[in-house]
């Protein structure tokens, strides 16, 4: 299983707009991805309700994971998005 540990770069955490950006990127990744708060249970990264339900705050560590082939590249892109707190999807997602 591939994993990435990353701190949430959005000051407001994974709420509303940032969660929407992240979920769209996760769905576009082409592989199933989960996200979890450090030490918490993983949830589907492609589910807006699940991501909002995490309640991840700005600066908090989250874990992105996938067991799929090609997951390394997808997780790298998602980790960069989360860490940098981007306001829109990069073209490479």
Query: What are 25-62's pLDDT values in tens digits?
Result: 999 999 999 999 999 999 999 999 999 999 999 999 99
- The third-level CATH classification (topology) of the domain covering 2-84 is 3.30.1340
pTM of the model: 0.90
Burial 17-41 (b: 16+ CB within 10 A, else e): ebbebbbbbbbebebbbbbbbeeee
Catalytic site residue from 3, 7, 9, 15:
15
* DSSP SS3 for 63: strand
Are residues 36 and 43 in contact, defined by beta-carbon separation less than 8 angstroms?
Answer: yes
* Closest alpha carbon to 18 in 93, 88, 75: 88
d(CA 41, CA 89): 26
Verify whether residue 5 is a known catalytic residue.
no
Domains in the chain: boundaries: 2-84
């Amino acid at each position: 299983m591939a994993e990435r540990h990353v701190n949430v770069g959005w000051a407001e955490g994974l709420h509303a707009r940032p969660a929407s950006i992240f979920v769209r990127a996760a769905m576009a990744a082409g592989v199933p991805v989960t996200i979890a708060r450090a030490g918490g249970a993983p949830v589907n990264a492609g589910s807006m309700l699940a991501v909002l339900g995490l309640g991840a705050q700005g600066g908090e560590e989250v874990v992105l994971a996938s067991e799929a082939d090609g997951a390394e590249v997808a997780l790298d892109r998602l980790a960069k998005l989360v860490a940098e707190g981007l306001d829109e999807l990069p073209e490479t997602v």
